Amino acid sequence: MGKVSQKNNDTEENTTEFNLVRVKSTWKCKLPQKVNKDTVDCVSPAKIYESITETGTTWTVVSPIIFTYKVTETQGLLDPSNNTLLLGHITDPQQLEDIKISNKPIRRFIVIDQEVFKIYGIKLTKYLEVNNVVYKILALPTTEENKSMEMALNILNEVNNFSLDRRMEPIIAIGGGVCLDIVGLAASLYRRRTPYIRVPTTLLSYIDASVGAKTGVNFANCKNKLGAYIPPAAAFLDLSFIQTVSRRHISNGLAEMLKMALMKHRSLFELLEKHGCMLLDTKFQVDNSLYGHSSLKAASQATRIAITTMLEELAPNLWEDDLNRLVDFGHLISPPLEMKVLPALLHGEAVNIDMSYMVYVSQESGLLTEEEKQRIISCMVGLELPVWHEECTLELIEKSLQDRLKHSGGLVRMPLPVGLGQAEIFNNISYEILHRAYKKWCDELSISSDGNCDP
């Protein structure tokens, strides 16, 4: 590009674009037309723009950050003959081969939810010992109430004592979404970024927390107020973990699956509408009695569609540069509701209450027919999800939406279904519609008459 003169506020500005090239062990600025790729080791995708005015010099750095991470569905993750947990995150074939022929033992630091450890601790320990792994297992009570910076610092203290190699020894997180979030944040802080691996053990984390880049802990009584966007090196998904999860937690995960169905995929909605009860009964496993192998087929289809649609929305917007996000459906009102009644509602349950109300907003706005609304609510009930809560007051809704304006560039950016499996973002839903929808929502879905239902 060379030099460019621009007029800016009556001050002449000369801007020069530089490429960054590496020669031997050092980087140098070079004008684009003077870069000879045959004489340099490599050319960085980063650029430096130098702007000179009468008042001084400004350097603008443009440095693309590229993350590569894998989401892998596997079976028998804790089978000693399956090396996915130890080596499945490695993308460089030469590095993988070097590790396999090396005499140096593999070292791994593992954080696991303590309830999960009670079930899988013996199996996990045997897996590590059969594979001659030097390991430290830290079992913690990773509940929403304990999702704090204090727990993250506790993890970091143990990681530091283990003397982790931040490049070659990823931290492994095994548990539900809370565990994955806390460990992800801790890893992002240790030596400014240490790779970590996610192993979800609940349905909710299987299709949601495991596949994105968000990490975080609760702070100042707000959900995930402290956090970072750092994706894992890999997420390893094994549906067999789901068989030990309670029916309520299966239902809890189905809420996030239903979210993606309503936003993007009518066939997924119809699958949940038709087979939701079977998925609850079989816990996404092969069932040899009532349902047979059809249960595994439905489970595989549902999880694959949910993960694919989630990745479609997350991958091009990992850092949420674009605030118009369909995946925010069900997350406008649910965070303060969830924190207010903690631990009465699970995350997916709070999300579903939010979605249920928004379905009424959508119908009241003329975006959904009455029949479509009823089908959605019936599907939610069939998935054994709550569709109303007395603490979800109009005051809470209005405050949540006002807070949304503050953190979303002055726009509410409300995702709403405009049909089954279709959605759009809206910024112009009036308070009159919100009030009418709220009254109808309460009248039709509340268990009993309650003062909170008065608009």
Of the candidates 174, 252, 184, the one whose C-alpha atom is nearest the C-alpha of residue 214 is 184
Question: Is 225 tagged catalytic?
Answer: no
Q: What is the DSSP letter of 170?
A: -
CB atoms within 10 A of CB 109: 25
From 214, 259, 283, 373, the catalytic residue: 214
As given in the structure block, the two tokens for residue 215 are 């990490």
Of the candidates 274, 261, 350, 247, the one whose C-alpha atom is nearest the C-alpha of residue 303 is 261
Contact (Cβ atoms closer than 8 angstroms) between residue 179 and residue 155: no
Contact (Cβ atoms closer than 8 angstroms) between residue 360 and residue 416: no
Please give the angle made by the CA atoms of 269, 270 and 272, to the nearest 5 degrees.
65
Q: What is the DSSP letter of 30?
A: E
Contact (Cβ atoms closer than 8 angstroms) between residue 176 and residue 142: yes
442 CB contacts (<8 Å, ≥6 apart)?
388, 450, 452, 453
CB atoms within 10 A of CB 307: 21
CA distance 422 to 125: 46
CA distance 122 to 109: 16
- Which run of H or E residues covers position 359? helix 347-364
Residue type, 407: H
CA distance readout (Å), 413 to 262, 401, 416: 17, 10, 10
Contact (Cβ atoms closer than 8 angstroms) between residue 217 and residue 185: yes
Contact (Cβ atoms closer than 8 angstroms) between residue 278 and residue 299: no
Q: What is the DSSP letter of 195?
A: -
- Partners of 449 in the beta sheet? none
CA distance 315 to 338: 27
| Residue 107: strand, helix, or coil | strand
First to last CA, the chain: 61
- Partners of 325 in the beta sheet? none
CB atoms within 10 A of CB 7: 8
- Which run of H or E residues covers position 139? strand 134-140
Residues annotated as part of the active site: 214
